[in-house]
Amino acid sequence: MRILSFILAALIIPNIVIAQKQEHRAKNILIIYSDDHSYHALGAAGNKEISTPNLDKLAKSGLMFTQAHVMGGHQGAVCIPSRAMLLTGRYVNRLPGDGSTIPDSIVSLPEVLRKQGYNTYHTGKWHSDKASHSRMFSTGGDIFFGGMHFPKFGGQEHPTVSLFDSTGVYDEKRKRISDTYSTTLYADNAIRFLSSSTAKTNPFFCYVAFTSPHDPRTPPEKFSKLYDPAKITLPANFLIKHPFDNGDLNVRDEQLLPVPRDPDAIKKDIALYYGMVSEMDAQVGRILEALEKNGLKESTLIVFAGDNGLAVGQHGLLGKQNLYEHSIRVPMIMSGPNVPVNKKTEGFTYLSDITPTIMDYLQVERPLSVEGRSLLPVLLDPSKNVRSSIYNVYGHWSRSIKSEDGFKMIVYNVDGIATTQLFNLKKDPLEINDLSKEPAYSEKILQMRNLLKQQMASAFDNLNIDLPNWGRNKNQKPRGS
């Protein structure tokens, strides 16, 4: 009888512990989203040259996802589908116009929470249609409709913004040019909201969408001088020119510096890029301080993530219009009640997994339009995985696949020239040594190709890479960002 009691206790107690963990959860959601922020541009990721004390502190207070990815995009402005995937849990191949328009058949996270009585708030960048924005958000601050703060429209220093309009009309005549630096402006908005009586009395969903560290890389003076280009380490995978036509070498991002790439110019660009990240980090610190000051920290789940990465000189590239790790991997951190403290997980995830995770965390029903996978099992046990591989897409001419054993394959077909790259990321994380031409890896390439086709099908990608004419041809020029 005593043995039976021990067995029953062993079965029941773990379930009680899990139930208790699930019961202690936040009611509020704060999502902070950075722009063009590669996974490595973070002190908590092991970068010794960059200063991100507030994000490092956030990582220590929660769970850091070291293998978070944007699934990709079919055109240069990858941030359009990225932001749509974040808020809808939808896969890129199922977003009309890559998410430039989000139809009401795709039910978003803020829409679900708004129906649950949440105050849904947004400030910062919005790169989709205004109708979907009005469905999602009940209130907001300064909104920027567009992709980047072009210098001719005020740049980061004087962003052109619209005040939240509950009617959703957003009259062009009511736009204003702000005298506040973009990141500070959006942080100020968020802080005002978090300090309001509404935020303290009603559950909220607060979405802060920065336009930094996207170019123009013009950080305020304090941060523009923070990094000495002479002391910046040139990436080990730096090249003066990409070794072949990857299908989008003439997109706007790649024209920011001349080819061949000059090492000193790249180091200067990295220094400014790091300055933008550090300035944004300071604003994240202000927002988190306001959260704590207003007594909301213990009732809020915090999610920080980047919308896509950036090359900044790696592989001879500058932008995000490629499938290398620096461009498809992003920083991602979750912190709050029922989230492991000071932990990291190497499990594969997409940004589209954030929406189903939050829905499961809050115990609200998921709409049928959600396609991502919940990371709630990982929050309960960081050693668990919800994915065994990662598929990525860019344009109609390149695809990649990454498997648990550390191998990654990228395939291209540009103007009839098919190219394959194979990397062993465990031995070669910077993707320097292409193994595709080595006979010993011919079987591995076949395996990876089959896995890629399987994952393409599961992600609703109807491109047929077995056809000899798949990809980009001279009559199908790539679209710019």
In a domain, 143, yes or no: yes
Domain C-terminal end among 357, 387, 417: 387
Percent of the chain with pLDDT over 70: 93
Is there a single domain that holds both residue 251 and residue 373?
A: yes
Considering the domain boundaries, does residue 217 fall inside one?
Answer: yes
Quote the pLDDT of residue 19. Answer: 41
- Least confident span in 9-13, 115-119, 222-226, 414-418: 9-13
* Residue at 14 is within a domain: no
pLDDT average, residue stretch 345-364: 98
Predicted pLDDT of residue 18:
41
Whole-structure pTM value: 0.94
CATH of the domain at 429: 3.30.1120
pLDDT of residue 480: 47
Domain stops at, among 353, 370, 387: 387
Lowest mean pLDDT among 17-26, 118-127, 363-372: 17-26
Residue 122 lies in a domain: yes
- The single-letter code of the amino acid at 215 is D
Strand, coil or helix: 108: coil
pLDDT in tens, 200-238: 999 999 999 999 999 999 999 999 999 999 999 999 999
What's residue 9's pLDDT?
A: 44
Please give the residue range of the domain that contains residue 169: 21-387
- pLDDT score of 477: 54
456 vs 23, residue with greater confidence: 456
Task: Supply the CATH number for residue 48's domain.
Answer: 3.40.720.10
Q: Which residues of 274-303 are buried (b: 16+ CB within 10 A; e: fewer)?
A: bbbbbbbbbbbbbbbebbeeeebbebbbbb
Average pLDDT of the segment spanning 52-60: 98
Q: Are residues 316 and 420 in the same domain?
A: no
Residue 248 has pLDDT above 50, yes or no: yes
Q: Indicate whether 24 pLDDT > 80.
A: no
Nearest to 96 by CA among 126, 129, 136: 129
- Both 440 and 311 in a single domain? no
**pLDDT in the model for residue 326:** 98
Same domain, 68 and 207: yes
398 within domain boundaries: yes
178/290 same-domain check = yes
User: How many structural domains are present in the chain?
Assistant: 2
Q: Distance of CA 344 to CAs 163, 383, 389, 430, Å?
A: 38, 9, 18, 20
What is the residue-averaged pLDDT of the chain? 94
398 and 344 in one domain? Answer: no
212, 297: one domain: yes
What is the per-residue pLDDT for 177?
97
**Based on the domain organization, do 313 and 429 belong to the same domain?**
no
37 and 75 in a single domain? The answer is: yes
Q: Which of 407, 370, 235 is nearest to 311 (CA)?
A: 235
**pLDDT score at 474:** 65
Whether the pLDDT of residue 265 is over 80: the answer is yes
Greater confidence (472 vs 131) lies with 131
**pLDDT for the residue 11:** 43
On whether residue 91 sits in a domain, the answer given is yes
Residue 352 lies in a domain: yes
* 356 plus 400 within the same structural domain: no
Per-residue pLDDT band at 25 (split at 50, 70, 90): confident
User: Can you tell me the distance from the alpha carbon of 274 to that of 420, in angstroms, rounded to the nearest whole number?
Assistant: 32
Residue 119: the pLDDT is: 98
Domain membership flag for residue 127: yes
Give the pLDDT score at 473.
82
Compute the average pLDDT of residues 113-118. 97
Q: Are residues 220 and 336 in the same domain?
A: yes
**Same-domain pairing of 162 and 205:** yes
Cβ–Cβ contacts within 10 Å for residue 364, how many? 15
The answer on pLDDT for 13 being more than 90 is no
Residue ending a domain, choose from 367, 387, 407: 387
